[in-house]
Structure 1
Amino acid sequence: MKQTADPSRATRVIAVLALAGTTAAIMQTLVTPLLPRLPGLLDTTPSNATWIVTATLLVSAVCVPVTGRLGDLLGKRRMLLACSVPLIVGSVVCALSSTVIPMIVGRGLQGMGMGMVPLGIALLRDVVPQEKLSSSIALVSASMGIGGGLGLPLAAAIAQYADWRVLFWGSAALAVLIAGLVLAVVPDVPATARGQRFDLVGALGLGAGLVCLLLGISKGADWGWGSAPTLGLFVAAVVLLLAWGAWEIRTTDPLVDLRSTARPRVLLTNTASIFTSFAMYASMLVLPQLLQFPAATGYGLGQSMLAAGLWMAPGGIMMMLISPLGGKLSDAKGPKVTLISGALVIAAGYGVSLMLMGSAWGIMLAVMVINSGVGLAYGSIPALIMSSVPRSETAAANGFNTLMRSLGTSVGAAVIGLLLAHLTTASRDGRSLTSEAGFRTALGVGIAMAVVAVAIAAVIPAVRAALQGDGPQSDEQPRSAGAGEPAHSL
């Protein structure tokens, strides 16, 4: 359809969808400053308190692919509004909680709303003018990182200077605001897969397999990597996911079209996403700890939690500034070049961190470089995905890619946590602390993961021919980054 879009309305839609993604990311990092205090606040053990984080991870991993597919079937705007409901309810439940079980339930409900980001990215393909598509995809895709970068110091400040419940009342208010803005600004476009059926068996099978896999990854360090529960979960994950794959190939309207996912372009992009997310999350685990480690160690910088968050905050700002520039680069050179460039910048940022880890200014500079690379990489990945799948699979394909990113962060958290826990030194009072070598090794792993992402991205093939109607576009021309002309104008 010929574009007759209103540029000002397109800008408002992009802003609302970016704010929705940022809000979803803030929900994920909301409890990070509270973790040391949660056992006392909720009268529970430290082990039980970690479920407050794990619940969000597990529920979001299960729900994101499902909400993506429902977006294709029922309409993306409708599912954006649906995602805002558990965000609101979950935030209120957390704000009212005095014990750990309601808090876990509330955090699980918040996890149900994480599908906002892939839904928003997919909706852009339908409603944003072609000339704005690449930059808008980049901004909305990077909003998860932006929210994490900006949300952490904000949450730390509120936790330090106000009642901790304010965090959750504030998140509930944000979710209400997002729902209102979606209703007022985002147009309702026809569902791209209307008439197809929802794959309930596939949703249950994928959910069960993911719960086993991610629970084993997130709890392996606590339970023991060789323990019966951990090994049992991994075995169950393999069996369930293989059975799920066999079902998806045979069913008529699958939750995830594995034939599309197996295309080299999609498969390699999803694989690169895993390593890019691993590299991104490693910095979020290592650098704040370096900032807060006791100065008496000789390599820690002795910063408070709030100060550490403020030193990290410019990274989120850089991601916000760089992601639209990544869209322009995708228009000029193609999203593959942008992904390679982003992963190279991430590796360079880790190099900066190794050279300048002895100062807070150096760590801030490293975070700014790393997050600039993340902004480039995260903005290009959805463009690569959407240029490779039909319009009827846009939201489902983005949901599956978001799942791959979550898998990368989960594996990254487990591997980096294992390194930091085992490469230790004894403090003067006899405590076991992560050694300088442990931090340097973890940062070196970050470089390695970024380099692997570069190598994978380098062999992503170009799309040589477009499918008729709604299929992929060539990656060799500027319009490729947008993955096809939007079907509905604003």
Structure 2
Amino acid sequence: MSASLDQQSTINPDSRVRSPGRAIAVLASCGLLVSLVQTMVVPLLPAFPRLMSVSTSTAAWLVTATLVSGAVSAPVFGRLGDMYGKRRMLLISIGLILVGSVLGAIAPNILVLLIGRTLQGVSFGVVALGMSLMRDILPEERIGSAVGMMSASVGAGGAIGLPIAGAVSEWTDWRWLFAGAAVVAMLQIVLVRRLVAESPLRSGGRFDGAGAAGLGGILVCLLLGISKGADWGWLSPTVILLFVGAALMFAIWMNWELRAASPIVDLRVSARPAVLRTNLATVLIGFSMFATFVLATQILQAPVVTGYGFGLSLIVSGLALLPLGGCMVVFSSTSARMSRIYGPRLTLVFGTGLMAVGNIGFALLPGSVWILVAVATVGAIGGALAYSALPLLIMSAVPVTETAAANSLNTLMRQLGNSTCTSVAAAVTSALVVDAHGASFPSGTAYSVVFTIAAVTAVGALAVGLLTPARRDDGGSL
């Protein structure tokens, strides 16, 4: 780290925002926009082949395109935020989401709709930029609770967004979902411009275009292989070539980044034990937590004759899971207090323990809706604690001038865990099926297997959390 950056590592208290409450509310609400964008097409995936006159595999790209574009754009916008201003990049990101939402609302065909979803994928970097901005402009005593609230807002928004998306898709035209996202994005732009100050910190340097392109190529190959492996076949030539290509590009990219003067990802910082282990824990947590979001509604909607389902409608099943969102909001503040008193590492350990308990409860296939909701709520509380602790661990272990890039990379690790969970769940539930009402449904054993794997990954995250250094490598307190 150069001396110039070290001299910028202390934030001037006079530069912090004068109205922190309004800034926190605006930035935390950005998580709701992210949740809306990520969940809005999920209830409609079975209907899009009919609505857009395309195949099921083509319609699945409405999720894949967003995942890949978000994974590529998140670290790039994070690095640009450190260099040129986090608020500026946040506004640009939301602006691209607005454009993508408008395109989705007016899309005459699947191509335009896919372009809109690709632009909406930029939302993956919004939360990381917002958290990093919080560190720069908020009073120190407010940072922990603000970061926890923003992290929890993503999960809470997902719990709220699914029933809303289900209701819209059932009672009106699907294009209103995209129109609603456009309105929310427009409102966010106005609020951020009026109520959120720009960070005074800049890392400087030149943008690493070659590093960004290399990272993008790696992520495209890796995430396409993971997300489409179940459909294309894990041993198919295409998937194997994608994984081999990702490995070869990673070796070349890593050599380039280690020699670059201003790398897109500072591998030396990322290799610090506190950062490396936190990112590893994030992948495992992303897998463990996403199992509930992917499978809980499927269990609630499955016919009773399957032996595990409850036969609820899409809207009712979404409403049944609303307590998850409420608990994530409430326990985000609890997470901040725990992290302030005991340190974010112990908060992470406690949260992952609760996630393991919740997934074990799911693996036992609860016999009533209320028990299922209780089990899911335990896991959601654990997720709120863990997700709120992760950015605090990251920000305590990296230079102040690299927080946006580091948080964006951590967000990418979460998405990697999510996409891996989706692929594993798809592979298991398609392999283990049961016939009911003349149709095939995943068997109860399939769900038990997936949730057992999710419980194991939560225990793995707990173990990694215990091994994560409690202090910064340079001796700073956590």
TM-score tier (shorter): over 0.9
Amino acid at match of 1:474: S
Amino acid at match of 1:217: I
Cα offsets for 1:346-397 (capped at 9, x unmatched): 1111233345622111221122111111110000001000101101111000
Cα gap change, 1:115/1:450 in structure 2, threshold over 3 Å: closer, same or farther?
A: same
What SS class does the counterpart of residue 308 from structure 2 fall into? coil
Once residues 440 and 427 of structure 2 are traced to their aligned partners in structure 1, the CA distance between those partners, rounded to angstroms, is: 14
Once residues 134 and 304 of structure 1 are traced to their aligned partners in structure 2, the CA distance between those partners, rounded to angstroms, is: 38
Partner of 1:463: 471
What SS class does the counterpart of residue 61 from structure 1 fall into? helix
Once residues 5 and 291 of structure 1 are traced to their aligned partners in structure 2, the CA distance between those partners, rounded to angstroms, is: 50
What SS class does the counterpart of residue 441 from structure 2 fall into? strand
Partner of 1:474: 477
Corresponding residue to 2:407 among 398, 406, 416: 398
Cα gap change, 1:7/1:399 in structure 2, threshold over 3 Å: closer, same or farther?
A: closer
Could you tell me how far 1:142 is from its partner in structure 2?
Answer: 2.2
Aligned 8 A contact 2:16 2:136 in 1: no
Cα offsets for 1:405-430 (capped at 9, x unmatched): 1111111111121111112223352x
* 1:348 corresponds to 2:357: yes
Mapping of residues 262-411 of structure 1, within 5 Å:
262-355=271-364, 357-411=366-420
Cα offsets for 1:49-100 (capped at 9, x unmatched): 0011100000000000000000000100100110011111100100011321
Once residues 261 and 327 of structure 1 are traced to their aligned partners in structure 2, the CA distance between those partners, rounded to angstroms, is: 24
TM-score by length of 2: 0.95
Cα gap change, 1:36/1:120 in structure 2, threshold over 3 Å: closer, same or farther?
A: same
Corresponding residue to 1:441 among 446, 449, 455: 449
Once residues 420 and 414 of structure 1 are traced to their aligned partners in structure 2, the CA distance between those partners, rounded to angstroms, is: 10
Aligned 8 A contact 1:150 1:317 in 2: no
Amino acid at match of 2:112: P
Partner of 1:35: 45
Corresponding residue to 1:62 among 61, 64, 72: 72
Partner of 1:452: 460
Amino acid at match of 2:449: T
* 1:127 corresponds to 2:137: yes
Cα gap change, 1:428/1:88 in structure 2, threshold over 3 Å: closer, same or farther?
A: closer
Mapping of residues 4-43 of structure 1, within 5 Å:
9-43=19-53
Once residues 91 and 269 of structure 1 are traced to their aligned partners in structure 2, the CA distance between those partners, rounded to angstroms, is: 33
User: Runs (4+) of structure 1 moved beyond 3 Å?
Assistant: 1-8, 464-467
Partner of 2:102: 92
Once residues 135 and 253 of structure 1 are traced to their aligned partners in structure 2, the CA distance between those partners, rounded to angstroms, is: 32
Partner of 2:258: 249
* 1:182 corresponds to 2:182: no
Once residues 13 and 238 of structure 2 are traced to their aligned partners in structure 1, the CA distance between those partners, rounded to angstroms, is: 56
Aligned 8 A contact 2:103 2:113 in 1: yes
Aligned 8 A contact 1:5 1:129 in 2: no
Once residues 379 and 442 of structure 2 are traced to their aligned partners in structure 1, the CA distance between those partners, rounded to angstroms, is: 22
Amino acid at match of 1:11: G
Cα gap change, 1:68/1:246 in structure 2, threshold over 3 Å: closer, same or farther?
A: same
Once residues 79 and 457 of structure 1 are traced to their aligned partners in structure 2, the CA distance between those partners, rounded to angstroms, is: 31
Aligned 8 A contact 1:353 1:362 in 2: no
Partner of 2:217: 208
Amino acid at match of 1:377: A
What SS class does the counterpart of residue 44 from structure 1 fall into? coil
Instruction: Give the unaligned 5+ runs of structure 1.
Output: 468-472, 476-490
Once residues 237 and 424 of structure 1 are traced to their aligned partners in structure 2, the CA distance between those partners, rounded to angstroms, is: 33
Cα offsets for 1:278-311 (capped at 9, x unmatched): 0001111221111010112221110111111111
Mapping of residues 31-180 of structure 1, within 5 Å:
31-180=41-190
Once residues 3 and 328 of structure 1 are traced to their aligned partners in structure 2, the CA distance between those partners, rounded to angstroms, is: 22
Once residues 118 and 277 of structure 1 are traced to their aligned partners in structure 2, the CA distance between those partners, rounded to angstroms, is: 15
Could you tell me how far 1:432 is from its partner in structure 2?
Answer: 2.9
Amino acid at match of 1:418: A
Aligned 8 A contact 1:273 1:405 in 2: yes
Partner of 1:487: none
Amino acid at match of 1:357: P
Once residues 263 and 31 of structure 1 are traced to their aligned partners in structure 2, the CA distance between those partners, rounded to angstroms, is: 38
Cα gap change, 1:6/1:458 in structure 2, threshold over 3 Å: closer, same or farther?
A: closer
Corresponding residue to 1:230 among 239, 254, 261: 239
What SS class does the counterpart of residue 344 from structure 1 fall into? helix
Could you tell me how far 1:214 is from its partner in structure 2?
Answer: 0.3
Cα gap change, 1:356/1:201 in structure 2, threshold over 3 Å: closer, same or farther?
A: same
Could you tell me how far 1:27 is from its partner in structure 2?
Answer: 0.2
Partner of 2:429: 420
Aligned 8 A contact 1:286 1:442 in 2: no
Amino acid at match of 1:456: V
Amino acid at match of 2:471: V
Instruction: Give the unaligned 5+ runs of structure 2.
Output: 1-10
- Output the aligned Cα RMSD: 1.5
Amino acid at match of 2:358: G
Aligned 8 A contact 2:303 2:436 in 1: no
Once residues 469 and 292 of structure 2 are traced to their aligned partners in structure 1, the CA distance between those partners, rounded to angstroms, is: 29
Amino acid at match of 2:195: V
Identical-pair percentage = 43
Cα gap change, 1:465/1:49 in structure 2, threshold over 3 Å: closer, same or farther?
A: closer
Cα offsets for 1:182-226 (capped at 9, x unmatched): 0000012324213x1100000000001100000011111111111
What SS class does the counterpart of residue 357 from structure 2 fall into? helix
